[in-house]
A and B are shown apart, each in its own frame.
Chain A
Amino acid sequence: MKRPIIALWCFLSGCSYGPKKVQTNVIPADQATVTCYYLFSKTKEDEQFPYRSDTLVLDIGSRLSRFYDPARLSRDSVVAARLKDLTENAQDINSLEVRKDGRAKDLSDLPGTVSSSSDQGESSRLYKNRVTNHVSVIDHFRTNDQNWTAGTDLFYEDDIGKLPWQLENVTDTILGYTCQKARLQFRGRDYTAWFTADIPISDGPWKFMGLPGLILKVEDSRQLFSFTLIGLRQLPAPVAIAIDKKGAVQCSRADFEKLKKKQGTGLQFNKTGGHVILSAVPGSFDYIPMEIE
């Protein structure tokens, strides 16, 4: 009985019944008005200095934010574009050399080499909704046991809920902002964050959010992972944030992390004349997850 009434109402009000249903699957986009730059440093257990530091970007909208590594994404997209070109313009290739595992060699000395190494930068993109406390994580996987060109985009949905931050009445000054200390236990690690009430945005790097101010610095108690704000810009014109999951496959967080651990060392591509070399990045890649629970 209900359906004909809705159909009739739709008819009368001039709206169609069909497309309405589809719209519930579309994630509402937002517009970023503030961009933050965080230095993400990773240190190995029992080592004093970080083995890798990257600049990650946080675009903040009124509800949504996007956290990503633009340098890594551009390296990945250059390699992907060359691979796509390889399959589409096969006629100008005379020979193809594929080097994997033990035969992998460093091609960085050859002119025109493009490469993306797994241990350089972060390939995952995070979308946070501060109103619903929801995070979507999306990544591109090119696992060793798959065809190089058969890369898959995978994503998982993470309802992290309200994070149980413990505020402490300790203050410090970071980049001229007065910051307050907060502690959090999250999925197997203890974090200390410094946030400022002078920037009333309850966001921060990675999955961190829900404090009454922007997080300027956060690190875990063993100092393996640290995010520090190094730049902040209020955008003169808003930039759209849309969650792009086109062609991506949903999986669980456990499966996602399993694939992260299994990923190869990275890929190098070189084309000189008609000779193409595809080689894995030599060495090994050791993925250290932030979430151990």
Chain B
Amino acid sequence: MRSILLLAGLIWLAGGACAQTTVSGKVYHKSDGNGMPGIHIVVKDKKTVATLNFGITDQNGAYRITFTSAEDSITVSASGLNIGKQLFRLANRSQVLDIAADLQAIRLEDVKITPPKIRKAGDTINYRVDGFTGQNDRTIGEVLRKMPGIEVKSDGSILYRDKPINRFYIEDMDL
């Protein structure tokens, strides 16, 4: 009997050292009270360095996140494409956190794509001319000289890898 009590005590102690905490609640529109799905809820430690766990609100705007932390407080953030980011500093205990969100469109930084300067299709190599054009280039010869593998002779003939080119197209014009 005594050993069982001791065991129970040990389990209680072990449980106390790394107790699981559950934060749950709902994200809703500040104006009409409707739940907002797809909002990211991230639980981080006190210094907002380590992510403890995360959740995404369901169709009704509800979320439930369970995590383990020995610290006395945690940081909860709510973010989405159509709401402003919100941060909450909370005590590390299981609790209900309902979040009223304001509609606010987020402006993302565009990432521009640069097409490759050289492209090979069958036996034809395509160079993107504006990828090689500098501000001071006046003739096509000056641009051609910069393209890898191409050599422009003083007599005006064009060589590719030391072989004369018999067909030469610029922007689909046969020269």
Contacts and interface: CB of A to CB of B under 8 A. Distances in A.
A169 B53 CA distance: 11
A37 B40 contact: no
Interface stretch (B6-14, B21-29, B106-114, B159-167): B106-114
B51 A202 contact: no
B150 interface: no
B79 A200 contact: yes
A210 B38 contact: no
A213 B109 CA distance: 15
A131 B38 contact: yes
Contact of A197 (B42, B56, B111): B42
A6 B58 CA distance: 30
Interface residues of B, number: 30
A37 B113 contact: yes
- Interface of A, secondary structure class, is loop
A130 B56 CA distance: 9
Contact of A175 (B39, B80, B111, B123): B111
Given A131-B59, A200-B79, A234 B40 contact: no
B122 A200 contact: no
A167 B41 CA distance: 14
B107 A234 contact: yes
A177 B109 CA distance: 9
Contacts of B58: 131
B106 A200 contact: yes
Interface in A133-167: 167
19 contacts: A33-B81, A34-B81, A55-B113, A62-B38, A62-B81, A63-B38, A109-B122, A109-B123, A130-B38, A131-B59, A176-B109, A176-B111, A180-B51, A199-B108, A200-B81, A200-B106, A201-B81, A232-B111, A234-B110
